[in-house]
Amino acid sequence: MFKIVCMNCKYEQSIKNCKENVNTRFQLSMYSIGCHYTKGSRFLANMNMPPPVSNARANQVKRKILKATREVAEKSMKTAAEELKSASTSSEVIVSCDGTWQRRGFCCKNGTATCLSVSKDLPAKVIDTETLSNHCDSCKKMSSKLTAKDFEKWKKHHLDCSKNHNAAAGLMEPEGLKRIFSRSESQYSLQYTGYLGDGDSKSFSIVSKLNPPIYSGKEIYKLECCGHVQIRMGKRLMDKVSENKNKTFTENGKTYRGIGGVGRLTKTAIKRIQGHYGRAIRKNIGNLDKMKSSIWAIWKHRGGNHKDCGQWCTLENRDKNILLKFVLNLLLKTLVMIIY
């Protein structure tokens, strides 16, 4: 029986024959927000609630939660893959690939590579994941206790080793995606020939240039994420501001220090240019010439030439955000580099 008592009015509510184990639900809740057993115990103590189950019992519950979540995840991913297969006219499909780590930085011991479905008619769903770790607590503990010879004997019977990656953390994403792509045919009868990535060419290069290739006679081609291209555009503009912050410029008899500030590249101006840049790409997918002219129109717009502007250029704001000529000249090289 589980009893809830109000400390103010002393009202009591009892829950009998609860279908869900409260301790299991609490442990699952802690895992979902990235907290372990110790943090859960601290939370209950601060809430003046009974302590959780023992550490040994918590480990048993952890294994049950792992088994249940794995079964649900595999079923969900299989359903998502079947939906993608039925929505596609062939077994060759486009997938979105990315990696993440347990903590920031490339010194983390655990990482995950994820593959999502990409379709015009369906929402993006996870179809496969690969978790990698270059660390095992048991191996580390036993290696310090045993001799090298005895450790090798022990290692042969250590079947539940969590270490499945022997390289650095930075290579977890490429290795995980390589494993995901390699099993796509046997797992779902699909070929991931379209690779939608975040601009990091390392993972794509490793997957697409394997010898022998993953898919015999099929080439894996790269697609760029418009959002990430838009972000890189903004970063280059910010870098341009930093590069020129200590330089002086003269225009119309007035001296300016740097290219940031009023009449120049402010953070607001960069965000607006980013938005127009992303719009120019999305509105002209499949038409490279028109895409280039739409991007050039942004530069012309900032110089007061609105001949090629689109609907985003309103009459009341046309000449409000014009940049000085020396700023436009510096941006010209950056824009040309991005377009070509």
Do residue 184 and residue 121 come from a single domain? yes
Do residue 234 and residue 172 come from a single domain? no
Please identify, among 165, 196, 224, the residue that sits at the C-terminal boundary of a domain: 224
The pLDDT score that the predictor gives to residue 201 is 64
DSSP H or E segment with residue 116: strand 110-118
Q: Please, which residues bridge with residue 112 across strands?
A: 100, 131
- Domain assignment present for 331: yes
Do residue 111 and residue 171 come from a single domain? yes
Do residue 219 and residue 313 come from a single domain? no
Do residue 141 and residue 241 come from a single domain? no
Give CA torsion, residues 301, 305, 310, 312, to 10 deg: 40
The pLDDT score that the predictor gives to residue 259 is 86
Do residue 88 and residue 213 come from a single domain? yes
Please identify, among 224, 242, 262, the residue that sits at the C-terminal boundary of a domain: 224
The pLDDT score that the predictor gives to residue 191 is 94
- Domain assignment present for 17: yes
Q: Is the separation of the CB atoms in 277 and 331 below 8 Å?
A: no
The pLDDT score that the predictor gives to residue 311 is 78
Please identify, among 208, 224, 240, the residue that sits at the C-terminal boundary of a domain: 224
Do residue 200 and residue 305 come from a single domain? no
DSSP H or E segment with residue 55: helix 55-87
Do residue 297 and residue 200 come from a single domain? no
Which of the 8 DSSP states describes residue 261? Answer: S
Compute the Cα dihedral for 143, 149, 154, 159 and give only its sign.
Answer: positive
The pLDDT score that the predictor gives to residue 253 is 86
The pLDDT score that the predictor gives to residue 16 is 65
- Domain assignment present for 64: no
- Domain assignment present for 136: yes
Q: Is the separation of the CB atoms in 87 and 79 below 8 Å?
A: no
Which range of residues forms the domain containing residue 236? 227-339
Do residue 216 and residue 248 come from a single domain? no
Do residue 254 and residue 205 come from a single domain? no
- Domain assignment present for 66: no
Do residue 325 and residue 245 come from a single domain? yes
Whether the full predicted model's pTM is greater than 0.75, yes or no, is no
pLDDT along the chain (340 residues), means of 10: 80 69 88 90 91 90 92 95 91 92 81 92 93 91 89 88 88 92 94 84 86 87 84 86 88 87 83 87 86 87 83 72 84 66
Question: How many domains are there within the chain?
Answer: 3
- Domain assignment present for 61: no
The pLDDT score that the predictor gives to residue 274 is 87
Do residue 7 and residue 109 come from a single domain? no
Amino acid at 102: Q
The pLDDT score that the predictor gives to residue 126 is 96
- Domain assignment present for 62: no
93 phi and psi, to 5 degrees? -130, 165
Amino acid at 99: G
Q: Is the separation of the CB atoms in 151 and 144 below 8 Å?
A: no
- Domain assignment present for 58: no
89 phi and psi, to 5 degrees? -80, -15
Q: Is the separation of the CB atoms in 281 and 290 below 8 Å?
A: no
The pLDDT score that the predictor gives to residue 338 is 58
